[in-house]
Amino acid sequence: MARPLMDTYSPPDIDFERGEGAYLHARGGARYLDFISGIAVNGLGHCHPAAVAALKAQAETLWHTSNMFRVPGQIELAEKYCRDSFADRVFFTNSGTEAMECALKTARHYHFANGRPDRYRIITFTGAFHGRTFGAINAGGNPAYLEGFGPRMEGFDQVAFGDHDALKAAVTEETAAILIEPVQGEGGVRAVPDVCLRGLRELCDEHGLLLIYDEVQSGAGRTGKLWAHEWAGSAQPDIMAVAKGVGGGFPMGACLTTDAAGAHMKIGTHGSTFGGNPLAMAVGNAVYDELTRPGFLDHVTAIANTLRQQLSGLVDAHSGKVAELRGRGLLIGLKLKDGYVNKSLAAKAREHHLLMGAAGDNVARLAPPLIIDETHVREAVAALDAALGALEPQ
Ligand SMILES: *Cc1c(COP(=O)(O)O)cnc(C)c1O
């Protein structure tokens, strides 16, 4: 069955054929509550009517022209992103890792254009994940993702997550930028404290560095703010990569920058054939309009509080197996105790028709659609309770 595919994934033996709201329907009729939503992608749930209508209408009108020609949907969406964020400029991509590439290139090019091509080094953190292109695996620094792919790329300095002294010591005359996920996703669903984001902003200002946020997973309303860094108040970045939830399931991403950081990216410095194509922009605009509808993000915060409250009850009830609850808003991690395995918990949850994911550091990950209500929360918590009860030490 999987023969013609590269063996890069090992999916369970289920074929989903239909999605509706927070549920996925498998061939044969079984229904699953989707609390991972394509890894924090389907924020509006599956087949949201507004996104479906936008995609259908665009599919019957115009699919693709490339960036040789103006795509009005790009201007419309970029104006919305800039209206509601720190940003003045936007470059559209097809994925998170491409948004990261644009962010890294923009940071280096800023110093180059300012007469400091020697400032090219980028500081990153242990446990980071920025995608799978060469630039992104080198930025992420995960040895498992780098092994076998040739020499390490020059110019990335990784410091331990949370080690402030190491961070300060890592800043040199050659440093161009600091890159961080406001909530580490793949690395174990670890939220960076607000005070640390503000500290990073100050450190960058002090040394003339650019602050880059990777909000590919934490953005698009996932934490109850449009972008997770908004929780920290005055800790705005110079550059931000977004993807996953901004397309609601249609592949798209974007690199957002201030005028100062992005204005030097001129004709020929960067490009993409598909980035920001009319289909992606139709869906991206529809998704964004839903996320910014009055009350939407308040709902995310309220339902996230309800879910987290009930999950803390589960953590207490299964304290022999679960060490702690992590994350922010609807990006949630359950760190398991030694001897219990996150992937086994996800498999047990599946037996109870709940879909969840795994992250690094033996964390089980929940990233439900943002549109869930209390019925979904009750159903998920009951399934997880049963799955935790049945989880055996390994
Ligand atoms: C998923 C992810 C990426 C990579 O996005 P792709 O669309 O898979 O290329 C980058 N950064 C973070 C934080 C992510 O969660």
Quick one: 112 exposed, middle or buried, by C-beta within 10 A (0-12, 13-18, 19+)? middle
pTM: 0.98
CA of 3 to the centre of ligand 1 (A): 26
Q: Which two tokens stand for residue 40?
A: 């924090």
Residues labelled as active-site residues: 129, 214, 244
Buried b or exposed e, range 208-232, using 16+ CB within 10 angstroms: ebbbbbbbbbbbbbbbbbbbbbbbb
Residue 176 vs residues 71, 264, 300, 308, 361: alpha-carbon distances, Å: 32, 15, 35, 38, 29
Q: Is 237 near ligand 1, meaning CB less than 6 Å away?
A: no
**Residue whose CA is closest, atom 10 of ligand 1?**
130
Are 145 and 97 in contact, with CB atoms under 8 Å apart?
no
Are 178 and 204 in contact, with CB atoms under 8 Å apart?
yes
Q: Is 45 near ligand 1, meaning CB less than 6 Å away?
A: no
CA of 253 to the centre of ligand 1 (A): 10
Residue 3's pLDDT is 81
Closest by CA to 103, choosing from 129, 125, 135, 74, is 135
CATH code reported for the domain at 16-34+295-390: 3.90.1150.10
Residue 2's pLDDT is 59
Pocket perturbation via mutation, ligand 1, pick of 192, 217, 218 by most ligand atoms within 8 A of CB: 217
**Residue whose CA is closest, atom 6 of ligand 1?**
96
Q: Is 279 near ligand 1, meaning CB less than 6 Å away?
A: no
Q: Is 129 near ligand 1, meaning CB less than 6 Å away?
A: yes
Closest by CA to 224, choosing from 306, 143, 341, is 306
Closest by CA to 37, choosing from 286, 222, 215, is 222
Q: Which residues pair with 332 in a beta bridge?
A: 327, 366
CA of 180 to the centre of ligand 1 (A): 13
CA of 252 to the centre of ligand 1 (A): 11
Closest by CA to 167, choosing from 159, 177, 157, 176, is 159
62-69: long-range contacts, CB 8 A cutoff, minimum separation 24: 62/278, 63/277, 63/278, 63/279, 64/274, 64/277, 64/278, 64/279, 65/277, 65/278, 66/273, 66/274, 66/277, 67/271, 67/272, 67/273, 67/275, 67/276
Contacts of residue 199, defined as CB under 8 A and 6 or more positions apart, other chains included, come to: 164
Q: Is 130 near ligand 1, meaning CB less than 6 Å away?
A: yes
Q: Which atom of ligand 1 is nearest to the CA of 185?
A: 15
In order along the chain (394 residues), what is the average pLDDT of each group of 10 residues?
84 96 97 98 98 98 97 98 98 98 98 98 98 98 96 97 95 98 97 97 98 98 98 97 98 98 96 98 98 98 98 97 98 98 98 98 98 98 98 96
DSSP assignment of 123-144 equals EEETT----SSHHHHHHH--HH
Name the H helices within 95-247: 96-113, 134-140, 143-146, 164-170, 194-207
Fold of 50-291: Aspartate Aminotransferase; domain 2 (3.40.640)
CA of 97 to the centre of ligand 1 (A): 6
Q: Which helix (H) or strand (E) holds 348?
A: helix 342-351
Name the residue ranges covered by the structural domains of the chain: 16-34+295-390, 50-291
